[in-house]
Amino acid sequence: MTAKKKKRGKYAAAFLCAAAIILYEAAVIFGVFKLGIDEKIPVWAVVLIIMIPALAAVGIIAALILRIKEIKGGEEDVASNY
């Protein structure tokens, strides 16, 4: 498998995960601010609900960047010699 195909797969996976997280975030924000819930949700709870998936998205992007550096560096090619 070529490095280009590996990169394309990694980009696609990261994009799909990030898109799912963004859709989740949009649904949460819509639910919190637009539906007019009778009881007010504490601000700390809203921040927590929004930050956990956002941190997951940051982790996904960081893992993607590290993986692309590994592919560019040829670490898989070196490991295949053993």
- pLDDT tens, residue by residue, 30-79: 877 776 666 677 778 878 888 888 888 888 888 878 877 877 776 655 55
Confidence at residue 36, expressed as pLDDT on a 0 to 100 scale: 62
Tokens 């195909």 map to which residue? 5
Confidence at residue 64, expressed as pLDDT on a 0 to 100 scale: 79
- pLDDT tens, residue by residue, 19-39: 888 888 888 878 777 766 666
Max CA distance (Å), the chain? 64
Q: How many angstroms separate the CA atoms of 5 and 11, rounded? A: 10
Nearest 10 degrees: CA dihedral of 74, 80, 81, 82?
130
Average pLDDT, the chain: 77
What region, left, alpha or beta, does residue 11 occupy, with left being phi > 0 and alpha being psi -120 to 50 degrees?
Answer: alpha
Confidence at residue 15, expressed as pLDDT on a 0 to 100 scale: 81
